[in-house]
Amino acid sequence: MNRYPHLLAHLDFGFLRLRNRIVMGAMHTRLETLDRPVDRLVAFYAARARGETGLILTGGFAPNLEGRIDAEGPLLCDDSQLDEHRAICAAVHREGGHIALQILHTGRYAKLPECVAPSAIRSRINRYTPRALSAQDIRRTIDDFARTAQLAREAGYDGVEIMGSEGYLINEFTAPVTNQRDDEYGGSIANRCRFAEEIVGAVRRACGDDFLLVYRISSIDLVEGGTSADDTVELARRIESAGASILNTGIGWHEAPVPTIAASVPRAAWSFAVRRVKGTVSIPVIASNRINTPELANALLADGTADLVSMARPLLADPEFAKKAREGRADEIAPCIACNQSCLDLIFTQRSASCLVNPRAGHEIEFSDAPAEAHRRVAVVGAGPAGMAFSVDAAARGHSVTLYEAADAIGGQLNLARVVPGKGEFDELLRYFRVRLQRLGVELKLGKRVDADGLVADAFEEIVLATGVTPRVPELPGIDHPKVVSYVDVLSGRKSVGQRVAIIGAGGIGFDVAEYLLGDAEESRSPGNFLSAWNVDPSARNGGLDRDGMSPARPTSRRVYMFQRKRDKLGAGLGKTTGWILKARLHKAGVEMTSGAQYTAIDDDGLHYVVDGEARVLPVDNVVICAGQQSERALYDELVSRGIRLRLIGGADVAAELDAARAIEQAVRLAAAI
Ligand code: NAP
Ligand code: SF4
């Protein structure tokens, strides 16, 4: 008996049987912008099928030119475009998987001057105002959806997903705020559903009954004036009657002022909206958003929330998620930590997706699983992200690895990140490395500050230094004052700080320290607290957002002041999809942010600084230094001076703008090369 009977149960549609309930949600990877795009896409999807994913949904393909996400956006409207799709479908089928193509018309979100919508109302996240579709345009668009679905069938796809959520075109028809038409496609709920129903009907007629038709419904829009819960329920019923095989559930529009998938969103926080849809229809329903473990996925199926579970990012992090769950190796699943750093943040800044935890994602063709030609004795110094990732991959290739760590625990800087409210998922990453290091037989020497003599005496064939970073200490009068503490002291709990705190340096760590000092871990653990902190109305009378506007200020007795020398707005370098969340939370907690500051001294009176030529003093109990890092290279310098050949990775190599993504990628690439 396996531990996840609901998740691993097959699902039979008569003409097709899914091997389990795990769906890879659609994600636009932008792999088509890299070299050898077809090979990459084939390898990317084949890896997820080989990992036993039940159903794969591709990234979105537009059914016509004005429906593309931008001028380069993927499109499927002509049979001359079918070769790449045939190759993808064949590869997935060879691995025993199933795959459906997502048809996405982006409506008023298209970054195109010719974008269209039900009504000519511009989105706040697009500079282009859409043209309202005429009745004739609507008929043509419905035909375009049917044509794309037919092409998908011809290419070998097992079905299509019609994207009706996230604020894209179909969702714009269903929500009153974007549909102000007075013809048969606007006004009453029956009229607002008509476009969606006609698309589903046309696709079903074009593709026949033995074809999966997934419709992604917006289970809660999270915009004022969005679809109400009653209207969502009505839409779900109509979509089922029109011929859908499965209802997938989307959460929130792209312009919603509420985080929906970031790490600070508690796991499965949106199940209430999925349950509402599930309670309405008799076709299978897919749950999505912030579901990243087989335990949770299985529990959501067991308690009747849904019939399948969609995971996009978790399958970037580990393409073998389903296989490992089936084989009883769930503790070896590389976890998605919901950081968005190497996936959505890259996609939304016009780069291709990968994964912080699994840099092979999207780069499958650049790696081989072949064992190393010669097995070597390798010493790795430093068990931070770079050292752990290298050790695991090198051991998996057959090398004999000894990993030295001066501290009593593995993790390095990850141990600091994990205590920040909303970053609890880093615990999962540490758990993963701990399990993998042990199973692969890496000899772990904790609490051992190895020196050059020790490494030389052991005659290792390869030495890899991942000794990490030390915090930069700015040259500033009073830097030795007892008020001054480093971010390491604060996040490690070695030093406590008072009620009035200044933070020098506003990079990722300065923001993390501010969040830690104001801490509200409850919000990221309890769905109820999270929803009320972000003003979400679960009964969705008005699109799911409380009309009363701003959520209440965060209760905090501590005053935090953040500073940087640059004149830019603070937080400009934070991740595209998560920085706004952090800034909104700190704003609500009354954090004061000062840019263009020149620090002149720290003394008993507090922090002295100059802004716009004016000298000021801020009375504070403590000043936390978050001024970046420098490479820790003492051991490197000594080994090099003795003429010893070695490799340097992670922060010990380059400290500037170091993040775990860069450290892990460098480590994984080196392990693949030795
Ligand atoms: P960072 O991003 O390089 O920021 C360092 C900060 O210190 C800057 O605000 C800089 O601003 C200031 N600074 C630099 N030299 C200084 C000096 N001599 N005196 C005073 N101030 C100085 O470094 P970090 O915040 O330590 O983050 C390290 C890496 O971790 C980053 O690359 C980041 O990607 C990653 N990280 C990201 C997140 C996130 O995105 N949420 C969270 C944690 C860590 P001025 O020069 O303008 O003063
Ligand atoms: Fe998950 Fe982060 Fe990887 Fe994206 S980059 S898939 S959020 S772990």
Instruction: Give the chain's length.
Output: 674
587: enclosing H helix or E strand: helix 579-588
Q: pLDDT category, 453, cuts 50, 70, 90?
A: very high
The answer to whether the beta carbons of residues 260 and 282 sit under 8 Å apart is: no
Task: Give me the pLDDT at residue 524, please.
Answer: 63
Label residue 264 by pLDDT band (50, 70, 90): confident
C-alpha 423: how far from chain center: 13
Residue-wise burial string across 309-339, b where 16 or more C-beta atoms lie within 10 A, e elsewhere: bbbbbbbbbbbbbbbbbbeeebebbbbbbbb
Give the residue, by CA position, lying nearest to ligand 2 atom 3. 355
- Report which DSSP code applies to 558: -
User: What band does 655 get if pLDDT is binned at 50, 70 and 90?
Assistant: confident
Q: In this structure, which residue's CA is closest to atom 7 in ligand 1?
A: 627
Please give the residue that has the higher pLDDT: either 197 or 521. Answer: 197
Lowest mean pLDDT among 201-210, 426-435, 509-518, 531-540: 531-540
d(CA 369, CA 204) in angstroms, rounded, equals 41
C-alpha angle 459/460/464, rounded to 5°?
140
Residue 348 has pLDDT above 80, yes or no: yes
Question: Is 2 a residue whose pLDDT tops 60?
Answer: yes
What is the C-alpha separation between 313 and 315, in angstroms, rounded? 5
Closest to 226 measured CA to CA, from 174, 188, 275: 174
Q: What percent of the chain has pLDDT over 70?
A: 97
With beta carbons less than 8 A apart as the criterion, state whether 418 and 426 touch. Answer: yes
Answer whether 658 contacts ligand 1 (Cβ < 6 A). yes
550 pLDDT exceeds 60?
no
Catalytic: which of 45, 109, 168, 516?
168
**168 flagged as catalytic:** yes
Evaluate whether 206 touches 218 at the Cβ level (below 8 Å). Answer: no
Residue of 262 and 619 predicted with greater confidence: 619
Mutation probe of ligand 1 site: the residue of 337, 340, 565 with most atoms within 8 A of C-beta? 565
Query: What's the mean pLDDT in 159-164?
Result: 98
Confidence (pTM) = 0.95
For residues 236-249, average pLDDT: 98
Check residue 368 and give its pLDDT. 87
Give the number of the atom of ligand 2 that is nearest the alpha carbon of residue 343: 4
Residue 75, beta-bridge partner list: 62
Structure tokens at 253: 């529009």
Distance of alpha carbon 285 from alpha carbon 7, whole angstroms: 13
pLDDT-derived band at 519 (thresholds 50, 70, 90) equals: confident
Cα–Cα nearest to 401, from 429, 436, 428, 432: 436
Ligand nearest to the CA of 570: 1
- Considering just the CA atoms, what is the radius of gyration of the chain in Å? 26
pLDDT at 510 over 80: yes
Q: Token digits for 321?
A: 């998620």
pLDDT band at 420 (very low <50, low <70, confident <90, very high): very high
Mean pLDDT, rounded, of the chain: 95
CA 77 – CA 232 distance, rounded (Å): 30
The 10s digit of each residue's pLDDT in 587-598 is 988 999 999 999
Q: Which residue has the tokens 């051992």?
A: 448
Indicate whether 521 pLDDT > 90: no
What is the pLDDT at residue 1?
65
Ligand nearest to the CA of 340: 2
Do 239 and 284 form a contact (C-beta atoms < 8 A)?
no
Check if 123 has its Cβ closer than 6 Å to any atom of ligand 1.
Answer: no
- Is residue 657 over pLDDT 90? no
Do residues 63 and 103 make contact, with C-beta atoms less than 8 angstroms apart? yes
| Residue-by-residue DSSP string for 209-238 | SSSEEEEEEEEE--STT---HHHHHHHHHH
* pLDDT tier at 350, thresholds 50, 70, 90: confident
Residue 295 binned pLDDT confidence (cut-offs 50, 70, 90) = very high
- How close is the Cα of 628 to the center of ligand 1, in Å? 4
pLDDT score at 532: 87
Amino acid at 145: F
Q: How far is the CA of 359 from the centre of ligand 2 (A)?
A: 10
At 564-605, the pLDDT tens digits run 999 999 999 999 999 999 999 899 889 999 999 999 999 999
pLDDT of residue 553: 64
Tokens, residue 562: 């953040």
Structure confidence at residue 547 (pLDDT): 62
Average pLDDT of the segment spanning 255-268: 92
Residue 595 neighbours by CB distance under 10 Å: 16
Distance 376 CA to ligand 1 centre (A): 38
- The set of protein residues with a Cβ atom below 6 angstroms from ligand 2 is 313, 316-317, 336-343, 355-357
pLDDT > 90: percent of the chain: 91
